[in-house]
Chain A
Amino acid sequence: MRRTLQSNEDLDTIMLSLTTPLLIILALAVIGFFLAKSRALQVAGGDIRGLVSLPSQHALNTVLATIVPPLAAIFLISLYVRITDGTGSWFFTLVVIGLAVTGLALSLISIKQESRARTYAERWILGLLIFASTIAIMTTVGIVFSMLFETFNFFGQYDWRDFFLSTNWSPNFRGNSDLGIIPLLWGTLYISFIALAFAVPIGLFAAIYLSEYAGPRMRSIAKPAIEVLAGIPTIVYGLFALITVGPFLRDYFASPMGFGESASSVMTAGLVMGVMLIPFVSSLSDDIINAVPQAMRDGSLGLGATKSETIRQVVVPAALPGIVGAILLAASRAIGETMIVVLGAGAAARLSLNPFEAMTTVTVKIVSQLTGDTDFASPETLVAFALGLTLFVITLGLNVFALYIVRKYREQYE
């Protein structure tokens, strides 16, 4: 499967071939710093008032000119080496060090009384800032490409119609697996539905109560307490589902009512996920409800409406688009949640309506297909990428739509 440390000797050579040039570049930069400073003083004849740019700015420019181009070259070269599956060579090292020396020399030569080192240095910095801001774009591109590529491989080995339309999921390590996504999507949506059915009313009412009714004392206790729920890692919720909620539901509900004997179930995962989503729904709704102008409330109260009439008939309708956006964001969260369902929902792919039965989700299967010891090129492993891409597309759609609604809503009251 994946390449491990032992079989990975070209990594060592690259690592070693990187250390020396990096040290050389660093040394050149340090030398450049002091040289530039003293040279700037020298051209000024000892009086820095004669300079357009300060010595420290010349020094900064020199350091940046020495470091940035070779670092960019290293970045590009290692990408090139990876893509062509080659190894590093002395030629690349020479290029990198050559760039550093050139940058150093050019910037030192350019130090004159009237040279604008500050402008040059700031251009380097602006370049670095722009580069940093493109990392977000590169991440998205990386996500899409990493999954598209392997998904493509997967559909080369497995018919896409079977993937999207088959109602059977039973991977088989000897081949001939049934890899239909429908039972996984069913489990995902069923669990998300229960989670939202639990979290939306509670989160919404909590937000309404806190922003419209609660006194400052109550707010100062309840608000942080609900926010604590948001700060708890999902693995904690997962463990909670596994050791507390699951057995409780089985012993007091499922088993006596004859719904089944499984501790992991759609209900277990759904309820725990619901708890996780409460702060998410309530804090988003809180923001949105607070964005409704006070004048609107006054208008209704001034007509003799009660507080609840004002909330139900004026505030909530006014905030509705925002609240819908918040619910969609929460839905996207629920669909993409992993640890709670891994520990609480079970592993059996099943199309059933019984909420006390164990079912499984897209995310659970991504984890199980990618952490097992299967052949990395087999459809059983590659299907995880197709599942991941499906998940990404669904959540992205929800997010884009939700963020659009929320933004439109905010603009209305700005």
Chain B
Amino acid sequence: MEDMYHADRAMSTQQDTKISAKGVQVYYADNHAIKDVNVEIADKTVTAFIGPSGCGKSTFLRCLNRMNDTIDTCRVEGDILLDGEDIYDPKVDPVQLRAKVGMVFQKPNPFPKSIYDNVAYGPKIHGLARNKAELDEIVEKSLRKAALWNEAKDRLNAPGTGLSGGQQQRLCIARAIATAPEVLLMDEPCSALDPIATAQVEELIDELRQSFSVVIVTHSMQQAARVSQKTAFFHLGNLVEYDDTDKIFTNPEDSRTESYISGRIG
């Protein structure tokens, strides 16, 4: 009975699979960092990756938009499908992929340019605006979505590095959504922020779910519980358990998951 119920719920939330990973292995030189991970990430959902430091959650996240390509020694095996297309297919240009799968990093990293130029950077390189007016519109829309418009509208030409930490991170989110991605990857986006800024960003993430599929790596279990609908627990390069967030935090199946969320490992 119970199993049936769970299967039902899983069915209902996994209608639209956005990203599906099958048998993914990642090696750094000789180090086997990700071991045979299978996961299906749903559209218009927030999926959280949790696990102790060095468990591979960030590495796996970076596989999803091929940011690992920039590391010479890194090697990825297995299939990762975005809308049914293998993103590691030789015909795929990572540049085009990353326009669809945007990323927000651990530390806010605004470019040393104005706020406007930071947000306009993506649309410009991808050619998303035909004229200045359209570009202005994209910038405004992105900043509004990132809940930064009210704070930034009067100083769009001020350098992005002059904002506070939380504002900087929201600027980076605005920058990422300006390219109209389908998936947004977030690598511990709040770890460098104070609690108030964290709350703002978390609220923002919840809103972003309307438009994107969001994948967030976090080391804070509370954060995962607060913002995500699905949670994956990584341990030593293995995907130990992947299920609805409620289930993971109330009734985990694997003993390692239980140990981690109850604070015994990690």
Contacts and interface: CB of A to CB of B under 8 A. Distances in A.
Interface SS majority for chain A: helix
A315 to B, nearest CB: 10
A303 interface: yes
B109 A304 contact: no
Contacts of B109: 293, 295-296, 298-299
Contacts, number: 72
B72 A302 contact: no
A299 B106 CA distance: 10
A303 B102 contact: yes
B107 A302 contact: no
Given A298-B67, A299-B172, A304 B111 contact: no
Nearest to B67: A302
A302 B176 contact: yes
Contact of B111 (A216, A306, A318): A318
Contacts of B70: 297-298, 301
A313 B95 contact: no
A295 B109 CA distance: 6
A301 B125 CA distance: 11
A295 B172 CA distance: 12
Contacts of B175: 299, 303
B105 A304 contact: no
Q: How large is the interface on B (under 10, 10 to 19, 20 to 34, 35 or more residues)?
A: 20 to 34
Interface in B130-186: 172, 175-176, 179, 185
A295 B72 contact: no
Given A302-B67, A302-B105, A317 B95 contact: no
B97 A304 contact: yes
Interface in A278-304: 293, 295-304
A215 interface: yes
B121 A313 contact: yes
A318 B112 contact: yes
Contact of A313 (B67, B97, B125): B125
A413 B179 CA distance: 28
Contacts of B125: 303-306, 309, 313
Nearest to B106: A295
Contacts of A296: 109, 111-112
A305 B126 CA distance: 8
Contact of B179 (A215, A304, A309, A317): A304
Contacts of A318: 111-112
Interface in B54-86: 65, 67, 70, 72
Contact of A298 (B96, B105, B112, B113): B105
A314 interface: yes
A306 B98 CA distance: 10
Interface of A: 215-216, 293, 295-306, 309, 313-314, 317-318
Interface of B: 65, 67, 70, 72, 95-100, 102-105, 107, 109-113, 121-122, 125-126, 172, 175-176, 179, 185
22 contacts: A295-B107, A295-B109, A298-B105, A299-B105, A299-B175, A301-B98, A302-B65, A302-B98, A302-B102, A303-B102, A304-B122, A304-B125, A305-B121, A305-B125, A306-B125, A309-B125, A314-B111, A317-B111, A317-B112, A317-B113, A318-B111, A318-B112
